[in-house]
């Protein structure tokens, strides 16, 4: 009679290979480090390849392997090259965290077509191109985690039409890819919608903005990136094996207040 594995085994990623885009700073660094701590080897993609070396060192400090690849997710060829590099280096791809993203705050009557398209091209189209490439390489199932935002669900007092549209679109993309790939290919696709977490984007807010928004957060504080990373690790592993097509909100209660 076999002995059941301890429940914590369901949260381990030993023997898995994960790709994280936008891994050169902020939340991407937290995701990469947490995935490595859970046992995964991590492939790091971003445009700023010099800064990827810092994330690579954090991953390797956990005892896991890391690979840094210069990547522009708005370029489908670059997305395919990222996945190909992962397969060449580590032999497989099991997890993709679509984290690369940009944000703007431009009034709708002043936003140019170029400004709007640039956000959609990275946040939505880039996630699609990378998911396409990764899914083709996931020959034994896998997990794709799209980093969305509560701004795909609610508003936050800034003129962010492009950003909000891209994140709402990403949640829709998540559902559709899940219904296409989970049954046929064993690939679960979910999105995570963070509230306010420390990142390069939050550093650009005007003085007093975060304090004002914090009044809406039931937890009374902004989130710690490690709290968000824990959700990503959960969705990446076997413990979330029956979860697909979902948007998991991690916002301290902001969207229900």
pLDDT digits (tens, 9 = 90+) for 137-171: 999 999 999 999 999 999 988 999 999 999 999 99
H helices, E strands: number in the chain: 9, 7
Within 8 A by CB and 6+ apart from 183, the residues are none
Tell me the sheet residues that pair with 194: 250
8 or 179, which is more confident: 179
| Sheet order of strands, 142-147 included | 66-70, 41-46, 17-21, 95-98, 142-147, 187-194, 247-250
- Within a domain: residue 109? yes
- Within a domain: residue 31? yes
- Within a domain: residue 6? no
- Within a domain: residue 26? yes
What is the predicted pLDDT for the residue at 165? 98
Residue 137 to residue 140: CA distance in whole angstroms: 9
Residue 118 three-state SS? helix
**48 contacts 246 by C-beta, under 8 angstroms:** no
Residue 1: pLDDT over 50: no
Residue that the structure tokens 């592993």 belong to: 237
Q: What proportion of the chain, given as a percentage, has pLDDT over 70?
A: 96
Find the farthest-apart pair of alpha carbons in the chain and give their distance in angstroms, rounded: 68
Residue 238: pLDDT over 50: yes
Chain Cα centroid distance, residue 217:
22
Prediction pTM value: 0.94
Active site residues: 163
**232 contacts 218 by C-beta, under 8 angstroms:** no
Residue 5: pLDDT over 80: no
Q: How many domains is the chain built from? A: 1
Residue 205: pLDDT over 80: no
Q: What is the DSSP string of 70-106?
A: E--TTSHHHHHHHHHHHHHHHS---EEEE--------
Residue 223 to residue 196: CA distance in whole angstroms: 6
Residue 117 to residue 119: CA distance in whole angstroms: 5
- Within a domain: residue 2? no
Number of residues written out for the chain: 257
What does pLDDT average to over the chain? 94
Residue 79 to residue 62: CA distance in whole angstroms: 26
**What range does the domain containing 154 cover?**
11-250
- How far CA 77 is from CA of 53, 70, 158, 170, in Å, comes to 22, 12, 34, 20
- Within a domain: residue 3? no
- Within a domain: residue 1? no
What is the predicted pLDDT for the residue at 201? 66
Q: The domain that contains 207 carries what CATH number? A: 3.40.50.720
Residue 184: pLDDT over 50: yes
Condensed to tens digits (0 to 9), the pLDDT of residues 90-133 reads 999 999 999 999 999 999 999 999 999 999 999 999 999 999 99
What is the predicted pLDDT for the residue at 257? 84
Residue 85: pLDDT over 70: yes
Within 8 A by CB and 6+ apart from 231, the residues are 192, 248, 250
As given in the structure block, the two tokens for residue 19 are 């790709």
- Within a domain: residue 187? yes
Condensed to tens digits (0 to 9), the pLDDT of residues 17-56 reads 999 999 999 999 999 999 999 999 999 999 989 999 999 9
Within 8 A by CB and 6+ apart from 162, the residues are 104, 106, 111, 115, 116, 118, 119, 120
- How far CA 242 is from CA of 143, 184, 190, in Å, comes to 11, 15, 11
């Amino acid at each position: 009679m076999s002995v059941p594995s301890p429940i914590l085994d369901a949260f381990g990623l030993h023997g898995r290979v994960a790709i994280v885009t936008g891994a050169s700073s902020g939340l991407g660094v937290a995701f990469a480090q947490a995935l490595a701590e859970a046992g995964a080897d991590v492939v790091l993609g971003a445009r700023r390849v010099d800064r990827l070396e810092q994330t690579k060192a954090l991953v390797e400090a956990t005892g896991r392997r890391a690979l840094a690849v210069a990547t522009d997710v708005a370029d489908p060829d670059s997305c395919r090259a990222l996945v190909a590099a992962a397969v060449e280096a580590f032999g497989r791809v099991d997890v993709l965290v679509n984290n690369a993203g940009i944000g703007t705050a431009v009034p709708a009557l002043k936003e140019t077509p170029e400004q709007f398209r640039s956000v959609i091209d990275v946040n939505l189209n880039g996630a699609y191109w990378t998911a396409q490439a990764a899914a083709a390489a996931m020959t034994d199932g896998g997990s794709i985690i799209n980093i969305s935002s509560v701004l795909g669900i609610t508003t936050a007092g800034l003129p962010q039409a492009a950003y909000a549209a891209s994140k709402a679109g990403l949640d829709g993309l998540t559902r559709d890819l899940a219904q296409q790939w989970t049954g046929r290919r064993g690939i679960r696709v979910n999105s995570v919608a963070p509230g306010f977490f420390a990142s390069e984007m939050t550093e650009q807010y005007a003085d007093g903005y975060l304090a004002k928004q914090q009044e809406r957060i039931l937890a009374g504080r902004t989130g710690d990136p490690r709290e968000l990373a824990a959700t990503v690790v959960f969705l990446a592993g076997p413990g979330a094996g029956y979860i697909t097509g979902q948007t998991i909100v991690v916002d301290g209660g902001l969207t229900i207040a």
